[in-house]
Amino acid sequence: MMNLGNVSLKGFIEIQNLKVTFGQKGNLVEAVSGISIHINPGEFVSIVGPSGCGKSTLLNAVAGFVKPSSGKLLLDGQEIKGPGADRGMVFQQYSLFPWMSVRKNVEFGLKMAGKGRSECESAARTLLGLAGLLAFENHYPDQLSGGMRQRVGIVRALATSPQVLLMDEPFGALDAQTRVVMQEILTNMWQRFRLSVLFITHDIDESIFLSDRLYVMTARPGKIKAEIEIPLPRPRVPEMADSPEFLKLRQELHTLIREESLRAMGGEIQEGLGGFDVEVGPKGIKELI
Ligand SMILES: Nc1ncnc2c1ncn2[C@@H]1O[C@H](COP(=O)(O)OP(=O)(O)O)[C@@H](O)[C@H]1O
Ligand SMILES: [Mg+2]
């Protein structure tokens, strides 16, 4: 736990020298290696990196679904030994129960935690109201748009008052316009709840718009390549994406991630592009004429 004056905030995550290896001897895949990062209580931290670099593995380790091969994971000083109600999850795939109404989906975690019927109902309705979904409380997931379903997913993860929200590319399946609206809704809800967020994305603009701080990962085995503070003021508004600070961050991140994406594709892309008489390096593609 971290003490800020006389307020003690929870949701402090420390990852120390994390390594995760999958598979058996002779067929080992090192997914992440030497990862040491932290998330301060109430901080919004994103992880960006190329596909397959181990982002989901890292998040699943914090969730308690994946066991570290070595290293330590701590939440408020306690070792993470498995999943728990102190960490809410939102995935890219809609993980709502299709046979339950929107409100029942949100109530589910509260019921599991032993809350009474009327308490569940009023908590669910308050949260649905904040997310602009109260009018849909009796609808079923397949009657909602993708954006609405993901909003229900977020509300459901928040319902049990976790200290930490873990989000794995939650807007990855949404169209660009819906995505931007969802990012704004998420920052608004996060400001209200003040919980720690670990957010995974491969979308550079999204990571800048949402985060206080972000980590860039290398190609697999994923290590931390860079840590970047996002000094943009809060609340964030879409117009900020055109500001000089935003553009500078975007360019910096593009360069960092491009190097890793090319490395992740390895020989494949060298050969593929070689066939078109172009030279590929970390800075991009250069024609060979
Ligand atoms: N349960 C698993 N068993 C074996 N290999 C896995 C498992 N989960 C992930 N991997 C491997 O670990 C690497 C990192 O995967 P992942 O964390 O899903 O990357 P990302 O989310 O960055 O795309 C990949 O090579 C993937 O195939
Ligand atoms: Mg992933």
Q: What is the pLDDT of residues 153-167, one digit of tens each?
A: 999 999 999 999 999
Q: Alpha-carbon distance 218 to 261, whole Å?
A: 8
H or E element: which one contains 55?
Answer: helix 55-63
Q: Alpha-carbon distance 158 to 7, whole Å?
A: 22
Ligand 1 pocket test: pick from 22, 257, 263 the residue with the most ligand atoms within 8 Å of its Cβ.
22
DSSP helix/strand/coil, 216: strand
Tokens coding 287? 């024609």
Question: What is the domain partition of the chain in residue ranges?
Answer: 2-86+162-287
* Average pLDDT in the chain: 90
pLDDT confidence of residue 273:
57
Q: Alpha-carbon distance 154 to 72, whole Å?
A: 27
Ligand 1 centroid, distance to 82 Cα (angstroms): 19
pLDDT higher than 80, residue 253: yes
pLDDT higher than 90, residue 230: yes
pLDDT confidence of residue 95:
82
Most confident of 184-188, 242-246, 258-262, 281-285: 242-246
Ligand 1 centroid, distance to 149 Cα (angstroms): 26
Q: In what order do the strands lie in the sheet with 164-168?
A: 87-90, 164-168, 196-201, 44-48, 213-217, 224-229
pLDDT confidence of residue 264:
81
Strand extents, DSSP E, 140-223 = 164-168, 196-201, 213-217
Q: Kindly state the average pLDDT of the residues 126-154.
A: 94
3 CB burial (10 A radius; 0-12, 13-18, 19+): exposed
The ligand 1 atom at the shortest distance from the C-alpha of residue 53 is 22
pLDDT confidence of residue 240:
94
pLDDT confidence of residue 25:
87
pLDDT confidence of residue 87:
96
Q: Alpha-carbon distance 89 to 7, whole Å?
A: 26
The residue behind tokens 């990012």 is 183
217-228 residue pLDDT tens: 999 999 999 999
pLDDT higher than 60, residue 4: no
Q: Alpha-carbon distance 163 to 94, whole Å?
A: 22
Ligand 1 pocket test: pick from 24, 33, 46, 56 the residue with the most ligand atoms within 8 Å of its Cβ.
56
Strand extents, DSSP E, 41-130 = 44-48, 70-75, 78-79, 87-90
CB 283 within 8 A of CB 263: no
The residue behind tokens 């402090």 is 12
The pTM is what? Answer: 0.89
Beta bridge pairs of residue 199: 46, 167
Contacts of 276 (CB under 8 A, 6+ apart): none
53-91 residue pLDDT tens: 999 999 999 999 999 999 999 999 999 999 998 999 998
257-283 residue pLDDT tens: 998 888 888 755 555 555 555 555 555
pLDDT higher than 60, residue 105: yes
Q: In what order do the strands lie in the sheet with 29-39?
A: 29-39, 13-22, 70-75, 78-79
Return the CATH architecture of domain 2-86+162-287.
3-Layer(aba) Sandwich (3.40)
pLDDT band at 6 (very low <50, low <70, confident <90, very high): very low
The residue behind tokens 């008489």 is 277
pLDDT confidence of residue 234:
93
Q: Kindly state the average pLDDT of the residues 203-216.
A: 97
